[in-house]
Amino acid sequence: MDTESPANGVQADQRRVPKHVAIIMDGNGRWANQRNRARTWGHREGVKSVRAVVEESVQRGVGTLTLFAFSSENWRRPPTEVSLLMDLFLSTLRGEVRRLNENGVRLRVIGERRAFSEKLQRRIADVEDLTANNTKLNLLVAANYGGRWDVTQAARRVVADVLAERLDPAAIDERAVAARLSFADLPDPDLFIRTGGEKRLSNFILWQSAYAELYFTDILWPEFGAAAYGQALDDFAHRQRRFGLTGEQVASQTGVAGDAWR
Ligand code: IPE
Ligand code: IPE
Ligand code: MG
């Protein structure tokens, strides 16, 4: 890629790696259908793309990667597909621990996990424990997750803290809410990717993505590998993030346009 004269006039700094990438892994079913196979085959094949993106994130120094594996709304799918997705989640968690540890990946699950079977909940807790000391990449798997659920559970915690007199209602501000959302200890997503051609957020991370750069690609998830992911990261390196400032203000503050958030 020509980094000297990009179309948008913003000079890329290839060292600008997003601290947090969030991905809606979409298109498994269509990918399988195009090959006259069951949708569920697409989900199985999609696991390979997960591995590729996790490893590329480690290579590139992305600190946090969040993958949308199952939305609050996905329970509405046919029971056989839901049950295959749960089995796949369980078997992938079981099978990947060694690879995660080899790559220095700490896995955490975000979402309402009480809806899962006891076995799956135990497995999630085990993998979280077994990878807890890894520091190269925080891998968040969003399962039974919804952006509105996240804001709602934060609201519930705010109320609980007020009732317990740990929080003064007059002191409730954005920070107080943000501190009670999922992954409050990690930075907000800088780059929000959706594969599979749809241009919507589908109730993925909402509050925390308020200033994320959006990137949509038609590539279906099972075909999304290190190269396609690298293109998204390169595209991000060309974005000028203004956070309400003018482009000139950002350029004069940083030298390289777009580093205002650091
Ligand atoms: C995304 O692929 C995976 C999950 C939602 C679990 P889809 O299953 O939504 O695939 P398409 O969009 O039907 O092709
Ligand atoms: C979003 O994809 C959820 C995941 C990728 C897990 P969907 O395919 O379920 O989204 P919609 O329903 O088409 O918006
Ligand atoms: Mg879909």
Distance CA 86, CA 81 (A): 9
| Amino acid sitting at position 145 | Y
Residue 124 confidence (pLDDT) above 70: yes
| Residues in contact with ligand 2 (CB, 6 Å cut-off) | 24-26, 68-71, 74, 198, 200, 202
Work out which ligand 1 atom sits closest to the CA atom of 24: 1
Active site residues: 26, 74
Look at residue 253 in the predicted model and tell me its pLDDT.
85
Angle at alpha carbon of residue 138, lines to 181 and 236, rounded to 5°: 90
Q: What share of the chain is helix, strand, coil (3-state, %, to 5)?
A: 50, 15, 40
Ligand 1 contact via 45 beta carbon (within 6 Å): no
Residue 7 confidence (pLDDT) above 60: no
Region of 214 on the Ramachandran plot (φ > 0 left; ψ -120 to 50 alpha; else beta): beta
Residue 94 confidence (pLDDT) above 60: yes
What class has domain 17-254? alpha beta
Ligand 1 contact via 258 beta carbon (within 6 Å): no
Give nearest CA residue, ligand 2 atom 2: 26
Tens of pLDDT, residue by residue over 219-249, are 999 999 999 999 999 999 999 999 999 999 9
Tens of pLDDT, residue by residue over 171-204, are 999 999 999 999 999 999 999 999 999 999 999 9
The answer, as to whether pTM is greater than 0.75, is yes
Task: Tell me how far the alpha carbon of residue 136 lies from the centroid of ligand 1, in angstroms.
Answer: 29
What DSSP character marks residue 196? Answer: S
Helical spans, DSSP H, in 14-146:
28-34, 39-60, 79-103, 118-130
Determine what percent of the chain is predicted with pLDDT higher than 90.
90
Q: Which ligand lies nearest the alpha carbon of 68?
A: 2
Work out which ligand 1 atom sits closest to the CA atom of 220: 14
Q: Which helix (H) or strand (E) holds 150?
A: helix 147-163
Work out which ligand 1 atom sits closest to the CA atom of 25: 1
